[in-house]
Structure 1
Amino acid sequence: MVRVYLTEGDHQMQRLMHFLHAEEKVRGITAFRGIAGIGASGRMHTSSLIDVSLDLPLVVEFFDRTDKVEGILEDLNKIVEPGHVVSWPASLNMGE
């Protein structure tokens, strides 16, 4: 399981989604748009009516087989700055 933390202002989400879906054919991908967040800058990014900067936090989450994810993690360094990717082992329940 992998989470990639971005902000809208970085304009990286479309490239990342294309990479994961079209190039890597990842099994499951979801993008979340946050209502507030504080990043490395220490500055608050919010969705208040006063702040219309469209610099809100974004999280792209995906999963696939362990071997596939390990290869993708190496390539993510070319798309996303170091320190913005979190991963952990997960189990996929396929039912009965």
Structure 2
Amino acid sequence: MTTRTTPASLLRVFIGESDEYRGRPLHEAIVLKAREMGLAGATVLRGPMGFGRSSRLHTSKILRLSEDLPLVIELVDGEAKIEALIEALHPMLGSALVTLEAVRVVRYGHDGGLN
């Protein structure tokens, strides 16, 4: 049996939990923008430890609680929608790390496809 897949793009945005955009947590602003633009989905993942460009360590260890834990927002959809989202997010992102990769969607929803 051959598995039918759909080509798509996976956008990852790496930010800090304390990052904001117009008085709102940045991760919320990104997810709400993606939803407004009709993307297939978005997930915010909170990391227990990480560091970025400054090499400052952010950790959730009990003795050293960080209020700025790393977050990764993953967004998946077709290439055109992801490219449009990147354009829309550009003014929001500041020092965020953004990655983009080609993926194959194996299943999405009951019918299995993106659209």
What range describes the TM-score normalised by the shorter chain of this pair? 0.7 to 0.9
CA distance in 1, matches of 2:95, 2:62: 32
Instruction: State the superposition RMSD in angstroms.
Output: 1.8
Unaligned runs of 5+ in 1: none
Cα gap change, 1:18/1:83 in structure 2, threshold over 3 Å: closer, same or farther? closer
Residue number among 5, 15, 23 corresponding to 1:6 in the alignment:
15
* Residue pair 2:15, 2:96 contacting (<8 A) in 1 also: no
When the two structures are superposed, what TM-score results if normalisation uses the length of structure 1?
0.88
- Identical columns (%): 32
When the two structures are superposed, what TM-score results if normalisation uses the length of structure 2?
0.75
Shift, 1:53, TM fit: 3.1
Q: What letter is aligned with 1:87?
A: L
**Larger strand percent:** 2
Q: Give the match for residue 26 of structure 1.
A: 39
Unaligned runs of 5+ in 2: 1-9, 21-25
Shift, 1:67, TM fit: 1.0
Q: What letter is aligned with 2:75?
A: F
How many pairs align?
95
Displaced runs of 4+ in structure 1, greater than 4 A? none
Task: Identify the range of structure 1 (8-17 vs 76-85) with the bigger mean alpha-carbon deviation.
Answer: 76-85
Residue number among 102, 106, 110 corresponding to 1:89 in the alignment:
102
Shift, 1:83, TM fit: 5.3
> Where do 1:14-93 residues align within 5 Å?
14-21=28-35, 23-81=36-94, 84-93=97-106
Which of the pair has more CA radius of gyration? 2
Q: What letter is aligned with 1:56?
A: L
CA distance in 2, matches of 1:36, 1:8: 12
Cα gap change, 1:77/1:93 in structure 2, threshold over 3 Å: closer, same or farther? same
